[in-house]
A and B are shown apart, each in its own frame.
Chain A
C-alpha cells in the first residue's frame, strides 16, 4: 500500500473517531451539571407519589415507570390512562393511518432518493407521531424514563433502516459475491463498534441530547446534498459519468466473466490480498476493522443503518472497487444493526412497540412500489432541492431544540 493511501485511511479513521469522542464528551458534559444539581433540587422538592410498580411493562422500561411520579400532569404517569406507544399509560396514541401514511412517504424516499428515508423515519418517530414532545416532559420528573424511552426511539429507527440490508446480504451470499476476508475485518469492527456505542450510551442519553445530535447528522447530510448541486459537485459527477461512458464504449464488445468466488491469497494485519472473481485485491484489514468500528458506533448512536458511510469509506479510503464492497457493506449494516438493537434491548433495556414497526414496514413496501412509478415525473434536481430544504429545516430545528431547548424554526 502506498504512503498516500495509508495517510488517507489514518485521517479518515481519526476523523470518525473524533466524531464519536465528541458525541461521548458532549453527553458527559450534559450529564455533569444535572448530577451536581440533583441533591439540592431533591431536598427542596415536596414528597412525590411514585407509580410504584412496573404496570406489566418489560425490563428497564417497567423499572423506570415504577420510579416515575404518578399523576395526570406533564411528566407524570397516570396508571389508569389508556395505554399508548410502547404500552405506556398516557403515552401518545399513534394513529395507524398516520403511521402508515408517513411510512409510505419514507418508502417512497428509500426507493427514489435512498438514504434520506432513514432520516425521515427518525423524524416520524420524534416529531410526526409526537413521541419527542412526550418523552421530553420526563426530563426533570423522571430522567431515567426519559433516557430509556430515547433508547426505544433510536432502536425503532435502527430497526427500520437496518432491515434494508437483509435481502441484499442473502442475495450476495447466494451469488457467492460476499467478500468474506474483507467482511470478517469490517464485520468484527462493526460488531465491536455497535456494541460499545449501544452499551455505553444506552440509558445515558437524554432525548434532548439525542435530538440535538440527530440534527447535526441531518445538517451534515444536507451540506453533502448542497455540495452535489454546486457547479463543482455537478462537474465532478458529470466527469465521472462521461469517463465511465467513454470506457464502456471501448470495452462493449469484450466482456468476459472471470471465475466466481473469493479466496484469500495472503493475510497480514495491515496488508491482505484476496482473489475476487479472478482479480487480486489488496486491502488493509486494520483500516477495515477500525472503519467498521467507528461507522457502526456512529450508526448505533444516531439510530441509522450506516450503509451510506460504509460504501464511500471502503471505496474512497480503503481503495476497493464497488463490486467487492457492495455485499460486504450490506453485511456490515446488518451486523451492526443486529448488535445495536440486541444491545439496546438486552443491556440498556429499551422497550419496543412491535406493532408500530410492523405498520411502518407495510407503509414502506407500499411506498417502495409507488416510488419508481412517480419519481420519474419529478426532475432529479428538484428532488435534491426538496431534500436539501428538508435537511436544513429538520437539522436546524432538531439541533436548536435538542441543544438549546427551543426550536429556531417552527416545529
Chain B
C-alpha cells in the first residue's frame, strides 16, 4: 500500500545496491531530516515564547534560592511556604516546556509512521542483521546519533566561522 511520504522518503533507502547498507544509510538520513525539522520548529516556539519562559524560569529560580536560604537559616515556616510557591512555579515551567518538546519531536512520529508502513513486521535490514531489526529501535538509535552529531556541529560552527574570519582577516564585529 502506498504511503503519502513514499515520494520523498523511499529514495533515501535506495542509494546503494545493498539492502542492509540502504537500511542503515536511509534510517540515518531520515533521522537527520527529522532532527533538522524538529530543531527548526523548536527555535520558532522558543523564540515566540522566550519572554514568557524566561519569566517563569526566573520566578522558579528565585523561589528555589529563597527556599535554600530558608533551609540554611532553619526558618521552617518560610521554608514550607516557599517550597509551596516553588512547587507551583515548577508546574508552570514543566508544562510550558511541553510545547518545546512537542516542537522538537513531532517529525519523529511521521517518520515512524512511514517506517512502520515500509518495515513492519519484517524490520529494517542492517549490515550484520539482513533479516531486519525492529523499526522503532533502529530509528531511535539513528535519532540519538543524529541529535548528538547535530549538537556537535552546532557547537563547532561558531568556532569554524571565527577561525575562517581570522584567516580571512575579517574583524569580528
B87 touches A163 (CB 8 A): no
Neighbour of B69 across the interface among A246, A251, A358, CB < 8 A: A251
Question: Inside 8 A of A362's CB, which chain B residues have their CB?
Answer: 102, 106
Q: How far is the CB of B79 from chain A (nearest CB, A)?
A: 7
A79 contacts B by Cβ under 8 Å: no
| B70/A163 in contact, CB under 8 A | no
Give the residue name and chain of the A residue nearest to B116 (CB): A354
Max chain A C-beta neighbours (<10 A), residue from B64, B80, B97, B107: B97
Is A34's beta carbon under 8 Å from chain B? no
Contacts A323-B86, A358-B110 given: A163-B63 contact, CB under 8 Å? no
Looking at A59, A367, A368, the one whose CB has the most chain B CB atoms below 10 A away is A368
Which of A142-150, A197-205, A263-271, A308-316 is near enough to bind chain B? A308-316
CA distance A254 to B73 in the complex (A): 12
Convert A321-347 into 0s and 1s, putting 1 for each residue whose CB lies closer than 8 angstroms to a CB of B.
111011000100000000000000100
B82→A247 contact, CB < 8 A: yes
A105 at the interface (CB under 8 A from B): no
**Residue in B95, B103, B136 whose beta carbon sits within 8 Å of that of A111 in the complex:** B95
Given contacts A167-B97, A321-B79, contact A279 B71 (CB under 8 A): yes
Q: Would B83 and A255 count as touching, CB distance under 8 A?
A: no
Q: Cβ of B87 and Cβ of A312 under 8 Å apart?
A: yes
Stretch at the interface among A66-74, A185-193, A237-245: A237-245
| A11 CB → nearest B CB, Å | 19
Indicate if the CB atoms of A315 and B97 lie closer than 8 Å: no
CB pair A277–B95 under 8 Å, yes or no, is no
Binding site for A on B (CB under 8 A): 1, 41, 45, 48-49, 52, 60, 62-72, 75, 77-87, 90-110, 112-113, 116, 120-121, 136
List A residues at the B interface (Cβ < 8 Å).
56, 58-59, 107, 110-111, 114-115, 117, 163-168, 171, 237, 239-244, 246-248, 251, 254-255, 258, 277, 279, 307-308, 311-312, 315, 321-323, 325-326, 330, 345, 352-355, 357-358, 361-362, 364-365, 367-369, 371-372
